Structure formats: structure tokens, C-alpha cells
């Protein structure tokens, strides 16, 4: 997720744009850039935070009062000056900034190269500038922009400059947020209100398939079919910080609610439902070598480690590959038996976790194929692995990992399809998994709508200082993750355990003051888990159950129930974790803690 700002008005544009980028920096911060219309289009870009761009500008505003700017969260093309936005066309008359993913950028780029367009970056976004340039050879500029937008597949928030129209900005939206701040003799376009609230509280929210043509004291909105429409002007009553959280009280809650989008983004252009397969471009270069792999070791930390445990179940059951999962901090001190037919997979949101990085280096030194599932593009782990798949989940600000986790599980399901279909998984099974995976974002939305009921249950948990989280098979790691979530943001002692193991010791802890949270979907081990629940019930233990919609049996046993939709067993973790994230969040805020920055924790543990 990137940050976009556009300004046209009576002030010098550069200071407004840079200030706006600073407010949007939480959306992405690996590089930034500005374009303004002075004598022609003047563009300055810099890798790194907005402050680096500001230094590079050195106070120069080119005397311009119209411009666009961008702070990047890389999805295609590593963070670098050349890949930073804004991007231009061959003529130098067009400059644009983009937030989103152009799914068909490769085919468009090939078409444009065939028409002798010269590209200067590795990004998908640059294609849009050249496409507009191509159409503008025959059409009025506004029509050329609309024609280009009708060719694009994917998502975009765009702000576009045309040096032949120095008093205008074109702003279009499909799938990525974009709004227009309506000021006095000035107008501001931005990805969210945090870049606007300083100048005006009057905003127009663009909807998907709309484009605004913005002047300093006027604007017009048309649909992608060039039909003029009237838009309501809303009044903002948000502070800058509230705007960054888009109305949520905390980044953690915002990111929990971003999970439908994060899971969708992880699948974008990768899930082939009709074929029952996955297209993972990031593994193309090692595709042949992957065919020879006879073992996978997954090495990661914390929540990412729990994602790996679920990946183990998926890959062994559906791709028939032996998998081991190791804490990275342990892996590197063992003498792991590794050879060229071993793949070591690092899962890391930050891509900077020292233990995971060390594990990858150790694996590579022993000849393993090093793979990564990483969220931060261009991070150290991403650069040091031989190949991998990016989450494209956008920045995760809350220390407690939520949307990155469900994104990791989505990519592990895609990897299972990718490897499974290479290794004998039937087309029918592939199609079943793929079509169910496609539904997960909707399932998550349904669970999020239960947030108030979950908040009530959290309130009842407030008086306890110990909790046991239990699950089995695919949901044993979810029990571990649920316990970690509540531990790290509400400082309650919680232990995750395999439900079948509880009778080998932990059940001694159970009494009326020691509740148990069971992840007990209707799956292949449901009956076994019900027996564990009955054992705890018999000892006076309180039961909170995460259960499948329509399960009547559990209602006789559990004191509290949160229902989740029925789905394939291998995909239940993607839905079962969401109630546990919300439970942890509401217990944490119930205790008055700063759930975004819990005590003693860092978002990325770059020390060993």
C-alpha cells in the first residue's frame, strides 16, 4: 500500500506535497518522489524515507503550484531511485503516481515495447504512463487516460500530470483508496484523509471506476465510461492520527479488518481457480530445481513460525513433501542435515528478523535452496533468498502480527497448490482447494461482523490471569498463535497446547479460575477434540469454543461460542485465527494497554 498526494492551488506545491507524504509515510516508506509542473515536468525521487527526498529537494519548489507525490511500499521492482514514483512516459509530458497492482502489466509492457516505448523502471506502474501516451497520439488527453484505464486489469489509485495542461490533475480510483480535499482556491488529492485534514475538512470520496479532473478552484468527476457524475461533499471530523488509522482506534484493529483485502492481495494474479493451480512468478527461476526437492525445512520465529507449522500440514498432506518446521533461533545451532535437494523456507513479515536471516545463511552455506515468504519488498531476507513470494499485505504497523499471518497462510496454500499439482495432486483436488481459498476473504468479513459479540466475551475473560489455548492438527498452531496474541498485547499468561496432549499434564492446571479456549471446527479430529473438552468440563473448567457454524453439539458443552464458517480443513486456520485476534485485542484494550506498542516488544527483532 503506497501513499499518494496531489496539489493544485495558490500555494507552492512542493511543501504541501512533502508534508502530505510525511502524513502518509505509515502506508509505505521504502522510497518517495515528487513531480511538479514548472517550465516542464520536474521530478525528484529518492530511495528511503520522505526525509531523504526532502533533503534532495533542498527547499527547491520550482515555482510550481501543481504537483503530485508518492511514498512507496514496493510490490513490483525493488526499492531504488529508478523504481520510485512518479513515473513518466517517453515524451516527458506525462508523470503519474500509482497505488495498487496492475495485474496485466507484462502483456501491456510487451505491446508498448513493440511500439518502441522505452521503459526506465521495473515497476508495473510505469506501464500506465506509456499507455496514456500511446492513446494520446489519437485522443484528447482526458479520453486517452480513460482509454488506458479501460485496458488495465488490477487495482489503482492514480494521480496524473500532463504538462500540456499545467493547471490540472487527473485522479482515478479502482480498488485503492483516493479522495479529494476541496479547499478555498486549492484542491488536494490523497490516499487518505491524513494528508488533507490540515488544509480542509471538506472531502469527496472517489468510488471505484471514477476519475476526478481537478483544478485549483473546480473539479469534475466522470465514470470510467466518461459519464459526468455529481459527488456528495462530506465533512471530516478526524485528527491526522485518526485519519491514518482510517477511523479505527488502533493500527492493530485496522490491520485485523484489512485481512480480507490482505488475503485477496496475496492471491491477486496468482490463484488460478479454473485450473486448480497457483502461478507464483517469484519461484519461476527455481521451478526446475523445486521439482528435485525432496524435503522442506521451514525456519522462522513467533507468529511466522506458527504459520510454518500450518504450512507443514498443508504441504505434507497435499504436496506429499516431507516438511520440518524449526524455530530459527534453534535451527542455526543444530547440525541440520541439509543437501542440494533440501529447500529451506524462511517466513518473515519484516524480512529483517536476525534469527531467521541467520538460519537462511546457514542453510545456503550447506547448499540448500533458500526460499522466502516475506512482506517487506527488498528486505534483507528477501534479497538473500534464492527465490520467494511477497505477501503484498502492505505495511503492518501493529507489533502483533495479524494480516501478515493470514497472508502467510494464503501463500502457503498457494505454494501447496503449486507444488502439489507438480507432484500428483489431481486437478479436481486443486480446483476444490482453489475455489474454497477464493472464498476466504468473504468468510473473514463475516467473522469480523461478530466483533461486538467477541468484545463481550473478552470482557468476561478480563478477570482471569491464566488461559489455556487448545487445538488439534491444522488448528494446534492456531491455539499457539491465539495464546501468543493475548500474551503479547494483554500480558495475560496463556499457553497454547495440542488438545491431545492436555491429558499428559496441563489438565492438572484446570479449575474454575483457569479457562480454556478450544479451536474445535467440524474437521477430521472434531470428535477427539470434543473428548478433550468434556475432560476439562468434568473438572469445572470454563470453555470458550471457536466452532463451525451450525454445530449444535458444542452448544451443550461450551460456556461461550464464536462461530466460524465451514471450509476445507486445511483452510480452517485462516478463519479460526480471526476471533482469537479480536479476543486478544479486546482483552488488551479492556486492560487499558497500548496494543499497538506492547511493552518489551519490537515490531522487528533484528538482534539475536
Enzyme catalytic residues:
2, 603
Residue 583 CA to residue 595 CA, distance in Å, equals 12
Q: Which helix (H) or strand (E) is 111 found in, with range?
A: helix 105-114
Tell me how far, at minimum, the Cβ of 313 lies from ligand AGP, in Å. Answer: 19
Residue 203 CA to residue 212 CA, distance in Å, equals 13
Give the residues across from 154 on adjacent strands.
102
Residue nearest to ligand AGP (CB): 302
Between 552 and 599, name the residue whose CB sits nearer to ligand AGP. Answer: 599
If you count them, how many residues does the chain have?
A: 608
Tell me how far, at minimum, the Cβ of 327 lies from ligand AGP, in Å. Answer: 11
Centre a 10 Å sphere on the Cβ of residue 221 and count the other Cβ atoms it contains.
Answer: 19
Residue 550 CA to residue 548 CA, distance in Å, equals 6
Is the CA virtual torsion 555, 558, 563, 566 positive or negative? negative
Tell me how far, at minimum, the Cβ of 414 lies from ligand AGP, in Å. Answer: 18
In sequence order, the 6+-apart residues with CB closer than 8 A to the CB of 56 are: 44, 46
Between 556 and 599, name the residue whose CB sits nearer to ligand AGP. Answer: 599
Residue whose C-alpha cell reads 516431507 in the numeric block: 322
Tell me how far, at minimum, the Cβ of 389 lies from ligand AGP, in Å. Answer: 14
Residue 313 CA to residue 320 CA, distance in Å, equals 10
Alpha helices (H) in 427-475, listed in sequence order: 427-448, 451-461
Residue 323 CA to residue 339 CA, distance in Å, equals 14
Reported in sequence order, the residue ranges of 55-155 that DSSP labels E, i.e. its strands, are 66-72, 87-88, 94-99
Between 93 and 403, name the residue whose CB sits nearer to ligand AGP. Answer: 403
DSSP conformation class of 608: -
Residue 586 CA to residue 580 CA, distance in Å, equals 10
Q: Check: CB of residue 108 under 8 Å from CB of residue 96.
A: no
**Helix 476-490 vs helix 302-318: crossing angle, to nearest 10:** 170
Q: Which helix (H) or strand (E) is 573 found in, with range?
A: helix 572-590
Between 51 and 358, name the residue whose CB sits nearer to ligand AGP. Answer: 358
Between 303 and 406, name the residue whose CB sits nearer to ligand AGP. Answer: 303
Residue 136 CA to residue 589 CA, distance in Å, equals 54
Residue whose C-alpha cell reads 502439489 in the numeric block: 420
Rg from Cα positions in the chain: 25
Residue 416 CA to residue 316 CA, distance in Å, equals 9
Tell me how far, at minimum, the Cβ of 26 lies from ligand AGP, in Å. Answer: 17
Residue 221 CA to residue 602 CA, distance in Å, equals 44
For the purposes of burial, counting CB atoms within 10 Å of the CB of 516, is it exposed (0-12), middle (13-18) or buried (19 or more)?
A: buried
Tell me how far, at minimum, the Cβ of 206 lies from ligand AGP, in Å. Answer: 34
Tell me how far, at minimum, the Cβ of 330 lies from ligand AGP, in Å. Answer: 14
Q: Residue 518: name the closest of 539, 538, 490, 547 by CA.
A: 547
Between 83 and 353, name the residue whose CB sits nearer to ligand AGP. Answer: 353
Residues that bind ligand AGP (CB under 6 A): 301-304, 348-350, 353, 356, 399-401, 488, 604-605
Tell me how far, at minimum, the Cβ of 379 lies from ligand AGP, in Å. Answer: 9
Between 163 and 379, name the residue whose CB sits nearer to ligand AGP. Answer: 379
Q: Check: CB of residue 564 under 8 Å from CB of residue 572.
A: yes
Tell me how far, at minimum, the Cβ of 392 lies from ligand AGP, in Å. Answer: 15
Residue 305 CA to residue 295 CA, distance in Å, equals 17
Tell me how far, at minimum, the Cβ of 399 lies from ligand AGP, in Å. Answer: 5
Main-chain dihedrals φ then ψ at residue 603, nearest 5 degrees:
-70, -35
Tell me how far, at minimum, the Cβ of 515 lies from ligand AGP, in Å. Answer: 22
Q: Which helix (H) or strand (E) is 310 found in, with range?
A: helix 302-318
Between 61 and 258, name the residue whose CB sits nearer to ligand AGP. Answer: 258
Between 35 and 349, name the residue whose CB sits nearer to ligand AGP. Answer: 349
Residue 401 CA to residue 595 CA, distance in Å, equals 11
Q: Check: CB of residue 56 under 8 Å from CB of residue 105.
A: no
Residue 376 CA to residue 384 CA, distance in Å, equals 13
Residue whose C-alpha cell reads 501447496 in the numeric block: 416
Between 91 and 604, name the residue whose CB sits nearer to ligand AGP. Answer: 604
Tell me how far, at minimum, the Cβ of 517 lies from ligand AGP, in Å. Answer: 17
Between 172 and 483, name the residue whose CB sits nearer to ligand AGP. Answer: 483
Q: How far is CA 370 from CA 26, 284, 415, in A?
A: 30, 14, 15
Q: Check: CB of residue 154 under 8 Å from CB of residue 270.
A: no
Between 44 and 301, name the residue whose CB sits nearer to ligand AGP. Answer: 301
Amino acid at each position: 500500500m503506497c501513499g499518494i498526494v496531489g496539489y493544485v492551488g495558490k500555494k507552492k506545491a512542493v511543501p504541501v506535497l512533502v508534508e502530505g507524504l510525511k502524513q502518509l509515510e505509515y502506508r509505505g516508506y521504502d522510497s518517495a518522489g515528487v513531480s511538479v509542473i514548472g517550465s516542464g515536468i520536474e521530478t525528484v525521487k529518492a530511495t528511503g524515507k520522505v526525509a531523504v527526498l526532502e533533503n534532495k529537494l533542498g527547499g527547491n519548489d520550482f515555482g510550481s503550484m501543481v504537483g503530485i507525490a508518492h511514498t512507496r511500499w514496493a510490490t513490483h521492482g525493488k526499492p531504488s531511485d529508478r523504481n520510485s514514483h512518479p513515473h513518466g512516459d517517453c515524451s516527458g509530458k506525462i508523470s503519474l503516481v500509482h497505488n495498487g497492482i496492475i495485474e496485466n502489466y507484462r502483456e501491456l509492457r510487451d505491446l508498448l515495447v513493440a511500439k518502441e516505448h522505452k521503459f526506465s523502471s521495473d515497476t508495473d506502474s510505469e506501464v500506465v504512463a506509456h499507455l496514456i501516451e500511446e492513446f494520446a497520439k489519437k485522443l484528447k488527453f482526458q479520453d486517452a487516460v480513460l482509454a488506458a484505464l479501460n485496458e488495465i486489469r488490477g487495482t489503482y489509485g492514480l494521480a496524473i500530470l500532463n504538462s500540456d495542461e499545467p493547471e490540472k490533475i487527473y485522479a482515478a480510483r479502482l480498488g485503492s483508496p483516493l479522495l479529494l480535499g476541496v479547499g478555498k482556491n486549492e484542491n488536494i488529492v490523497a490516499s487518505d484523509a491524513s494528508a488533507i485534514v490540515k488544509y480542509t475538512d471538506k472531502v469527496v470520496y472517489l468510488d471505484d471506476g471514477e476519475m476526478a479532473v481537478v483544478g485549483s478552484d473546480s473539479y469534475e468527476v466522470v465514470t470510467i465510461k466518461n459519464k459526468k457524475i455529481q459527488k456528495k461533499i462530506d465533512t471530516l471530523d478526524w485528527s491526522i492520527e485518526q485519519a491514518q488509522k482510517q477511523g479505527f482506534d488502533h493500527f492493530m484493529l485496522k490491520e485485523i479488518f484489512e485481512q480480507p483485502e490482505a488475503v485477496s492481495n496475496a492471491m491477486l494474479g496468482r490463484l488460478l481457480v479454473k485450473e486448480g493451480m497457483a502461478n507464483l512468478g517469484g519461484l519461476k527461476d527455481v521451478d526446475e530445481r523445486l521439482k528435485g526437492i525432496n524435503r522442506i525445512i521451514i525456519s522462522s520465529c513467533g507468529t511466522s513460525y506458527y504459520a510454518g507449522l500450518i504450512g507443514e500440514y498443508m504441504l505434507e498432506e497435499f504436496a506429499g513433501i516431507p516438511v520440518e518446521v524449526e524455530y530459527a533461533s534453534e535451527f542455526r545451532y543444530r547440525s541440520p542435515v541439509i543437501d542440494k535437494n533440501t529447500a529451506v523456507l524462511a517466513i518473515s513479515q519484516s524480512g529483517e528478523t536476525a534469527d531467521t536471516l541467520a538460519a537462511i545463511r546457514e542453510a545456503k552455506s550447506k547448499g540448500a535452496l533458500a526460499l522466502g515468504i516475506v512482506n517487506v519488498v527488498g528486505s534483507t531476507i528477501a534479497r538473500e533468498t534464492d527465490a520467494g513470494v511477497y505477501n503484498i499485505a502492505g505495511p503492518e504497523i501493529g507489533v502483533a502480527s495479524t494480516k501478515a499471518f493470514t497472508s502467510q497462510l494464503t501463500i502457503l496454500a498457494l505454494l501447496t497448490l503449486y507444488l502439489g499439482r507438480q507432484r500428483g495432486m489431481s486437478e479436481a483436488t486443486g480446483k476444490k482447494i482453489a475455489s474454497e481459498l477464493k472464498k476466504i476473504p468473504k468468510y473473514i468479513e463475516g467473522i469480523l461482523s461478530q466483533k461486538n459479540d467477541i468484545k463481550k466475551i473478552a470482557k468476561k475473560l478480563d478477570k482471569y490471569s491464566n488461559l489455556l489455548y487448545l487445538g488439534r492438527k491444522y488448528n494446534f498452531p492456531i491455539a499457539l498463535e491465539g495464546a501468543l496474541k493475548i500474551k503479547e498485547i494483554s500480558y495475560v499468561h496463556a499457553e497454547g497446547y495440542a488438545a491431545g496432549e492436555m491429558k499428559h499434564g496441563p489438565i492438572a492446571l484446570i479449575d474454575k479460575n483457569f479457562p480454556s479456549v478450544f479451536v474445535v471446527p467440524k474437521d477430521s479430529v472434531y470428535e477427539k477434540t470434543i473428548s478433550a473438552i468434556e475432560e476439562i468440563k468434568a473438572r469445572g473448567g470454563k470453555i470458550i469454543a471457536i466452532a463451525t457454524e451450525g454445530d449444535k453439539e458444542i452448544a451443550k458443552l461450551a460456556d461461550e461460542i464464536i462461530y466460524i464458517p465451514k471450509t476445507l480443513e486445511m483452510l480452517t486456520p485462516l478463519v479460526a485465527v480471526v476471533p482469537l485476534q479480536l479476543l486478544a485485542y479486546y482483552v488488551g484494550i479492556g486492560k487499558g494497554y497500548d496494543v499497538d506498542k506492547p511493552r518489551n516488544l519490537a515490531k522487528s527483532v533484528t538482534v539475536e
